[in-house]
Chains A and B, each alone.
Chain A
Amino acid sequence: MLWYTGKRILQMIPVFFGATFLIYFMVFALPGDPIAALYGDRPPTEAVLEQVRARYNLDQPFIVQYLLYIGGIFTGDFGTTFSGRPVSDVMAAAFPITFRLAMLALLFEAFFGILVGFVAGLRKGKWFDNSALVVSLLLISVPTFVIGFIAQYLFGVQWGIVRPTVSGDANWNELILPAFVLASVSFAYIVRLTRASVSDNLSADFVRTATAKGLSRRRVVTVHVLRNSLVPVVTFLGVDLGSLMVGAIVTEGIFIIKGVGGTG
């Protein structure tokens, strides 16, 4: 185990350098001078441009820039934005908000997803099951940003139930609507996963045994069916937290949430 852990940690090193180098390289492979573009149609004097380039090490060869950047990271210096704020401060302010949004979304998709999937699985082929399938198909097919704009317009503008955008504090209650939007696609997957799992388990041998032993239907369903059906769902939820944090960028853009997605 120790050997395995050590090996994995050692493997992180090339991955870290590979990833940072590739991203760094790709950003700088974009054509054009980022400093000149800062000033739009109104260029300052060449002397000013040179000074600003020097401030951000942009006058150095590419490889030197990368080494300076990596050196900075190891000494805890992530650089500064053009408005003079340390990048570490920007991320420290933004990250908790994205995390909060992702957690809330995870909570919603787990709770409602399992609930709906469970009921649908128990009543396979009935109207509830069929409508759950249709709704989940819809949610999977429609891109998140469409759902986001529709939700923002209906709840925020048309009915005025919530503010269409989130304030700088991004309190829990403001994040409810965005979290629902963010959770929508995963919610649909969880519904389908739970439903399939529950309906499979209903005809499994251990469930028939439990019923034959004379346990109440309630006990069979909650303890034997549900608990065993949750195994693939929990696995999915674990992986999904990561993709929720990434997917949050689109939702954050629509609702002006000042998370990681808004720091671009």
Chain B
Amino acid sequence: MSAIAFMAVGAVALTGCAGGNEEESSSSGDASAIVTTNGSEPQNPLITTNTTETGGGKIATSLFAGLVSYDADGAIQNEVAESIESDDATNWTVTLEEGWEFTNGEAVTSQSFVDSWNYGAKLSNAQSASYFFDDIVGYNAEADSELTGIKVIDDTHFTVELAAPEADWPLRLGYTAYMPWPSVALEDITAFGENPIGNGPYMLAEEGAWDHEVGIDLVTNPDYDGVRKPANGGLNIVFYTDLDAAYADVQSGNLDVLDAVPDSAFSTYQDDFPESAVNQPAAIFQGFNMPYYLEHWSGEEGKLRRAALSMSINREEITDVIFQGTRTPATDFTSPVLDGYSDKLKGAEVLEYNPEEAVKLWAEADAISPYTGTFDIAYNSDGGHQAWVDAVINSVVNTLGIEASGKAYPTFAASLADREANALTGGVRAGWQGDYPSLYNFLAPLYLAGAGSNYEDYNSPEFEAKLKEGTKAATVEEATKKYQEAQEILLADLPTIPLWYSNVVGVSADTVDNVTFGWDSVPLYHAITKE
């Protein structure tokens, strides 16, 4: 119950804050001021189809404008697209707005999109985002192929044929993988990755503006005329390898906006930044999975045990004590920032702390086959997970009275290896950060049989059927309803035991205003004003 109250407070505080700042922004704010913010060195060259991590992602979305972009609530707004339409959710017609240009003067045409999408999908280019194109006709994960489902009609029209209907397909088009490229990109992709030429609200300050391991300087693109028109003169994204140092910088006024707070400041950041501290749920879901291949964890017995486990965990207390309120207890499998999120799903009471019921279900499972051995949850010790794993384990031990412990792997790679090899001895930490604001993106990759991130091989034909119905639904509302029903199946099966949503916790210096965080936990840079 208090989770709901917390959410409501968050929402009110958020709107109140934005409202107050809007009035201010008209009078104050220097349109040429450069806003400094934190980032991290992109893992790969800045090629949009190969940028799937946050460090490169926040730069790429500033440099490029795709067909659509996302507003603070994660709703799509047209950028280059004038319309994206379909009668059957399979054949989509995209109409581009005229007048868009890359910063080198080249016009943004249908071909600009087709080129980058084909490049991204082609196997031999080994792009990390290649699977984002797997729903388009012609995609082949085994061999090089053209996306034959895309047909250019003229400079401002193209059609896309999907392999299967997908009602909310346009929702994903704001993701970095779908950005358009000028023709020079394909001539020299290495040079393009180092000095990307885009059509977004910002552009590189100069050739070589990406100072590796140090930062990147972006200035306003004067020709940009989309919905993200910058209210500042540019961005200086500083690559920090340590959040404590970034926090010290924002405290001393050397950094304007920090979109994360180090663990060491969880208890103090609200006092340090009474005006600007932000703490709101983000599109990051966290839980842990119990593999089906373990003894006692499959079939009816496994179902009972999973439910017992879930009800034995005091999520409220752990998020309060361990995370100082910077996590929000989970009520579903997605995230509160998404359209279609609901905290009233049928069966969601399994996510509430209920020790009596937990003990009862555990005993029922023991009647099927008495539990033997211990219980553990695997985590990688290089990611700061120990505190909460221990807390969850304690919760389980105290409620169910079984022997349990955390199981530390030295690195993420090591835990992943055992996960992929089905060699776990107990539960495993699992998490998901949404690529684009859609329920589908939180469900399909994780729980569909054979999907990339379904490591524990959950397999439910009913769930799959519901999800399919959702993708075929004529309207987004109808699709949402199906996805919620699909989640109700998950609540009964608990292929993952939801724990909480990560919050985006950010602070900013007094010199800046209008800092609002988007659905993806990245500030809406274009809206920030600086005195």
User: Which A residues have a C-beta under 8 Å from some C-beta of B?
Assistant: 30-34, 36-48, 51-52, 55, 82-85, 90, 93-94, 149, 152-153, 156-157, 160, 163-165, 167-168, 253-256, 258, 262-264
Contacts and interface: CB of A to CB of B under 8 A. Distances in A.
B177 to A, nearest CB: 11
B369 interface: no
Interface residues of B, number: 55
9 contacts: A31-B417, A40-B412, A41-B433, A47-B142, A83-B212, A153-B248, A156-B252, A167-B214, A168-B215
Interface in B400-450: 409-417, 420, 430-433, 435, 445
Given A42-B445, A83-B41, A152-B245, A48 B123 contact: yes
B413 A33 contact: yes
B25 interface: no
Contacts, number: 138
A79 to B, nearest CB: 15
Interface stretch (B8-16, B42-50, B146-154, B477-485): B42-50
Nearest to B241: A262
Given A30-B413, A32-B412, A255-B245, 20 more contacts: A30-B411, A32-B415, A36-B417, A40-B412, A42-B435, A43-B452, A44-B127, A44-B128, A44-B130, A45-B131, A83-B42, A83-B45, A84-B190, A84-B194, A157-B252, A163-B252, A164-B254, A165-B254, A253-B241, A262-B213
B453 A43 contact: yes
B462 interface: no
B254 A163 contact: yes
Contact of B417 (A32, A149, A168): A32
B248 A34 contact: no
| Closest 5 A/B residue pairs (Cβ) | A32-B413, A168-B214, A37-B413, A164-B248, A51-B126
A264 B242 CA distance: 12
B193 interface: yes
B52 interface: yes
B212 A85 contact: yes
A169 to B, nearest CB: 9
A45 B42 contact: no
A38 B128 CA distance: 10
A82 B43 CA distance: 6
Nearest to A255: B245
A44 to B, nearest CB: 5
A167 to B, nearest CB: 8
B251 interface: yes
B413 A164 contact: no
B127 to A, nearest CB: 7
Contacts of B194: 84
B71 interface: no
Interface in B29-85: 41-45, 52-53
Given A31-B411, A83-B41, A157 B126 contact: no
B124 interface: yes
A36 B420 contact: yes
Contacts of A40: 53, 412
A39 B45 contact: no
A245 B506 CA distance: 35
Contacts of B215: 168
Nearest to B143: A47
Contacts of B142: 47
A7 B213 CA distance: 41
A165 B248 contact: yes
A225 B453 CA distance: 72
B141 A47 contact: yes
A37 B245 contact: no
A32 B416 CA distance: 7
B414 A31 contact: yes
Interface in B246-266: 246, 248-249, 251-254
A258 B254 contact: no
B155 interface: no
B371 interface: no
B95 to A, nearest CB: 31
Nearest to B429: A41
Contacts of A34: 413
A20 B453 CA distance: 36
Contact of B45 (A44, A52, A84, A258): A84
Contacts of A168: 211, 213-215
B240 interface: yes
Contact of B126 (A55, A85, A256): A55
A253 B245 CA distance: 9
A187 to B, nearest CB: 23
B410 A30 contact: yes
A163 B255 CA distance: 10
Could you say which of B124, B214, B453 has the most chain A C-beta atoms within 10 Å of its C-beta? B214
B52 A42 contact: yes
B128 A164 contact: no
Contacts of B141: 45-47
B357 interface: no
B275 interface: no
A149 to B, nearest CB: 7
